Structure formats: C-alpha cells, structure tokens
Amino acid sequence: MIAAAALAAVVAALAWPPAPAAKGVAACTTRSYPGQPVAHTKNVNLKPKYNSFPPTTGTHYYLPARFDIYDFALPQLAVVHNLEHGGVAIQYGSKVAKATVAKIRAWYLKDTNGLVVAPLPELGAKIALTAWNAPPYAKTPPDPGRGWVATCTAFDAAAFTSFLKAHRYKSGERFPKSQLARQR
C-alpha cells in the first residue's frame, strides 16, 4: 500500500507535459567552467579547443575587440580578450528575432561600459552572456579563474542585469572601468 502511494506520487511529480514556467522566472541558465590557461596569440585564425561555447577563458587574440555593439559576428579569439579585461559579451544566434535584438540593443544602450554585443550565428535561437572571472593576476602563471555562460531562450532584462552585477569587472587582467568604455 505504501509502495503504491509512493509510486503514484512519483508518477504525479513526473507528469508530462511539464507545467509552464512561472511568470518572472528567468529565461536563462548559467553554467560555470574551469578557467583555461591564459595565452595570447597573433594568429586570428587559430582554433583553440575551448571548454565552453561561446568560449570564456583561455587562448585569445593579443588585441581585444572594441567594447561596442556590432551587427556582424566577431572572432571569438578577440571576444575572449575582452572578457579577460573584465568585460561581458552578449551574443545572439541567427534565429533570434529582430524584435529581441532591438530589446537587447535598448538594454545595452542604458549601460554600455565593458560590454560587447554581437551576433554569433551558431547560437541559433539562443542568446549567450559570457564572462571570465579570476583573481587579479599576481603570479606566473596566473590563476585562470572560471568562465561563465548564461544561455538564454529569450531576452530577460533582470537576468541580464543580474549576470552583469555578478561578473563584470572581475577578471584577472583588470582594467580601469574608464578603459572599458564604448568608443565613439
């Protein structure tokens, strides 16, 4: 009798289809990855083996991209360098609706410091926020810290802002905030 009741409870808990997400629940899931060794390259065509997608730590181009908003995909090698400087990248796939991209742009324009926004077609219908968090570099080799990826199925201003508060300006190669400003 008890076993039958327990089985019924398990079946009820696993009922399909699942209930829709509660209103106000973020459309993003965040995952952390072990930091990969810090290395610069002058070969923009290099294809390092990263442990996250989009990449968050490891080998990167010796020059970062300009902190700005783009309508074309950027080399991930450059974006990783922006993350190493304490920036956050927001990238969206080729199947993300133009209306959603407009919302991302409007959100970005409220606080552009340390942000790179660009398409990344391989994300499909998803949006990804990435960051590289590490202690300030003080030894050789430096502690590579951890990479962070928030993968989102929709634009969620609260989740995006929360990710920024948790991860922006917290990289190993910390630059003054004024040097992470959008350049116009």
The residue ranges of every structural domain in the chain are 21-180
**Helix/strand/coil for 49:** coil
pLDDT at 98: 97
| Bridge partner residues of 150 (DSSP) | 30, 129
Residue 1 has pLDDT above 70, yes or no: no
pLDDT at 26: 58
Residue 7 has pLDDT above 50, yes or no: no
Rounded Cα distance between 137 and 3, Å, is 57
DSSP class of residue 60? Answer: E
pLDDT at 66: 95
pLDDT by residue (tens digit) across 68-100?
Answer: 999 999 999 999 999 999 999 999 999 999 999
Determine how many CB atoms are found less than 10 A away from the CB of residue 51: 13
pLDDT at 53: 98
**pTM for the full model?**
0.84
pLDDT by residue (tens digit) across 166-184?
Answer: 999 999 998 878 888 887 6
- Six-digit token string for 9: 């409870």
Residue 154 has pLDDT above 50, yes or no: yes
Residue 62 has pLDDT above 50, yes or no: yes
